Amino acid sequence: MTVHSSTDSSAVVIRPARPADQASSDGLPPLRPDGDGPRWRRTVVAERAGEVVGLASMQLDPVTENYLCEVVVAPAHRRAGIGTSLYGAACQLLERPYRVQARAMARQPLRRLFAEALGCELVRHHPEPWADPTTTPWRQWIDAHPVPDGHTALTLAEADPAGVRRAWLQYDEWSHAPVGPVRPHHLVDAWERYRSGLDADTSTVVVEEAAPEEVLAFCLVSAQQWEGRTLAVSETAAPDQEDGVAFLEAAVARTLLRLGARGVRRVELEGHSDDPHFPVLVAGLPEHDADPMDLLALRRPAAG
């Protein structure tokens, strides 16, 4: 594929990843295998003197018509054009003219700088506030947000499975619409994969007492932590939900109450700026740390 010459005269070869490849340099994530079908994935690597020093992966979003891109170069090999070469090589492998997107987190500023160097535009902002439900300010916030009259909060283990599934599919379709064309026939598979990784005892749904099968808001907790964070997707089932902020706050409060009882001290509330309810919830939270994330659309290299 591409051969990139560096200033120390040691050539860097950009090539497709092989099953036997390992991310041998510090600062690189494990290489994930290629795949086909709805979760199509391809990876290219940068190799110098027999060592993998960088990688770029492209994965087809199973729900929307977008590719999600990740480019990582080992710290000792940065600022030599390797990332740009990796990105260009990965784009050559794309089979469809879909938009390429990338995530840029505040605590990883190099991601944004790299995206801006390639050329990018903002697709959506995610505030990503962190809650510590073991502290006094957060316990006070929890107490101040009860479930509205005529409604109740259930754990995922207690809730009607069909109702939760229906609410999540509704949410997933409207929430992805600003990101790109939605492929509804893949939503059900996406739910089954996501549901299998949820903590049923701390995840919360808010329903009407008279219609417990109709979920109005939810706070769904991933069972596994990521970088020391417990992730909790916090949304309403519909963007125009009447009293949606109150239902969302109640769902989050009940989940935080349960996580606090377990001693969990870093809960990342996942939501986005396109939801009319989530930014309002964030504005009313106690003082908190956060790792805001922007979803960016990257400019694809010119053909040839």
Q: Is the pLDDT of residue 7 over 60?
A: no
Calculate the dihedral angle through the C-alpha atoms of 210, 195, 61, 18, rounding to the nearest 10 degrees. Answer: 180
Beta carbons of 51 and 76 less than 8 angstroms apart: no
Q: pLDDT digit string (tens) for 184-222?
A: 778 888 898 899 999 999 999 999 999 999 999 999 999
* Confidence tier at 37 by pLDDT (50, 70, 90): confident
- The residue with greater pLDDT, 303 or 36, is 36
Domains of the chain, earliest start first: 2-126 (3.40.630.30), 130-287 (3.40.630.30)
Q: Is the pLDDT of residue 100 over 50?
A: yes
pLDDT at position 215 is 97
pLDDT at position 304 is 56
Q: pLDDT digit string (tens) for 44-63?
A: 999 998 889 999 999 999 88
* Confidence tier at 133 by pLDDT (50, 70, 90): very high
pLDDT at position 25 is 61
The model carries a pTM of: 0.89
Q: Is the pLDDT of residue 1 over 90?
A: no
Q: What is the mean pLDDT of the chain?
A: 92
Q: What's the half-sphere exposure (Cβ side, CA atoms, 13 Å) at 244?
A: 16
* All residues at 6 or more sequence positions from 92 whose CB lies less than 8 Å from its CB, including other chains: 1
Place of tokens 């109740």: 152
DSSP assignment of 87-122 equals HHHHHHT--S-PEEEEEEETT-HHHHHHHHHH-EEE
Q: Is the dihedral of CA 91, 95, 98, 104 positive or negative?
A: negative
DSSP assignment of 260-304 equals HHTT---EEEE--TTSSSHHHHHHTSPS--B--EEEEEEPPPPP-
Q: Which DSSP symbol is given to 137?
A: H
* Confidence tier at 9 by pLDDT (50, 70, 90): very low
Q: Average pLDDT in the 33-39 region?
A: 88
pLDDT at position 91 is 96
> What span, in angstroms and rounded, lies between the C-alpha atoms of 139 and 274?
28
